[in-house]
Amino acid sequence: MNEEYRRRLAQYVVDFRLPRYRELPDIGLHLEQVTRYVARYVPGPLTGSMVSNYVKQKLIPGPTKKAYYQDSIAYLIFLSYIKTVMPLEDIRLMMQVQKSSYQLQVAYDYFCDELENLLQCVCGLRDTPAVVGTTRTQEKELLRTALMSITYKIYLDQYLNLIRQETA
């Protein structure tokens, strides 16, 4: 990898930050607003029909009076990343484990912290992952394994985007 690619990947990682649970909108967003908000943070498109499908499949909480709140938005951000490496049925199982082990606010913030942490390692800003959280559980190891796959995919996508930009 040439030095310019390294520098640009490092900048991407430095700039990469997901909103924590307390930062998610809690005023209630309509479907179009939710898709626009979430699309700022996730890879790939998120459409209204995708959100409706996730609600029908009971992967995210449905709207209350046509408005989506923090829980739905947190799940949508999580789903948008994890679906790049896992089928929906496995995601459903992981979410059941999360619901029986951790409150959503804790699990979502851990997801954000760990994704950012692992991305720094995969992209070469850190030699080893930092310890995130105070406990080591099987549930956290399961999520870390899934997130490692995601971070390698993000790295690959970003690297290929750099190549595309150079050849365009």
> If we measure between CA atoms, which residue out of 100, 120, 98 comes closest to residue 110?
98
pLDDT at 168: 83
pLDDT at 39: 96
- Residues present in the chain in total: 168
> If we measure between CA atoms, which residue out of 124, 129, 152 comes closest to residue 140?
129
Rounded Cα–Cα distance for residues 110 and 147 (Å): 11
CB 89 within 8 A of CB 121: no
- Show the 3-state SS of 68-109: ECHHHHHHHHHHHHHCCCCCHHHHHHHHHHHHHHCCHHHHHH
pLDDT tens per residue across all 168 residues of the chain: 688 888 888 899 999 999 999 999 999 999 999 999 999 999 889 999 999 999 999 999 999 999 999 999 999 999 999 999 999 999 999 999 888 888 999 999 999 999 999 999 998 888 888 888 777 888 888 899 999 999 999 999 999 999 998 888
One-letter amino acid at 100 equals: S
For the stretch 61-91, pLDDT in tens is: 999 999 999 999 999 999 999 999 999 999 9
Report yes or no on whether pTM surpasses 0.95. no
